[in-house]
Amino acid sequence: MDCKKRIRQLRPRDRSRIEEMVVSSGNFNDVEIETALELVDEAIEKGDASGYIFAVLECGKSHPMLQGFACYGLTPLTQGVYDLYWIVVDRAARKKGNGRYLLEYVEREVEKQGGRMLLIETSSQESYGETIRFYEKNSYQLTARIKDFYRIGDDKLVFSKVLI
C-alpha cells in the first residue's frame, strides 16, 4: 500500500530515527554513522549556516513516520555545484520509489538554488552495488574512480549529473 509522502525540513526529534535508519542500513561503519549524526547535530544547531541541507521524507497521514532523508549542500569554492552527502531510506520502505522521490526533490531544490550539477561519492564495495545501480538508474554518470581511496580494494566512486 502506498502512503502519502511529504518532504520537510529536519527537526531535532528526527535525530534518533535517522540514527536508527543509518545503523540498520547495514552499509555504514561506526565512524560513518558518527559522521552522519555529526551532520545532523550541526544542521540542528546552526541551521543554514552549517551548509548542510536536510530533506526528511515522511509517509502517512495521521501518524507520519520518517522513512528516509537526504543531506546535501553547496560544494565549497564552486559555482553551482552541490554534493549529495547522504541519502538513506529505511529498509522497510525500500523498493517503493522513496529513494527516487528524495533524489528528485533534492535535484529540484538544487536547481531552484541556482545549482547546475550534483555530485555523489560512494564506495566501490560489493555491499554498495544496489546504491551504485540506483544512481545509474537515475541518470548519474560515473565521473571518477580513485583506486584504493578508502582502503586497499575499496575505491571511491564519484557520480555526477548535470541539472541545467
Element (H, E) at 69: strand 65-74
Query: Could you report the average pLDDT of every consecutive run of 10 residues in the chain (164 residues)?
Result: 82 95 88 94 94 93 86 96 95 86 97 97 92 96 97 97 94
pLDDT tens profile 120-130:
999 999 989 99
* pLDDT for res 78: 95
* pLDDT for res 80: 96
Helix runs in 26-75, H state only = 30-46
Structural domains in the chain, sorted by start? 5-118 (3.40.630.30)
- Amino acid found at 108: R
* pLDDT for res 94: 84
Output phi, psi for 18, to 5 deg.
Answer: -65, -45
All cell numbers assigned to 105? 526533490
Q: How many angstroms from the chain centroid is the CA of residue 140?
A: 14
* pLDDT for res 11: 95
* pLDDT for res 1: 45
Question: Going by DSSP bridges, is the β-strand pair 81-89/117-123 parallel, antiparallel, or unpaired?
Answer: parallel
Q: Is the full-model pTM beyond 0.85?
A: yes
* pLDDT for res 95: 84
Q: How far apart are CA 142 and CA 161, in angstroms?
A: 9
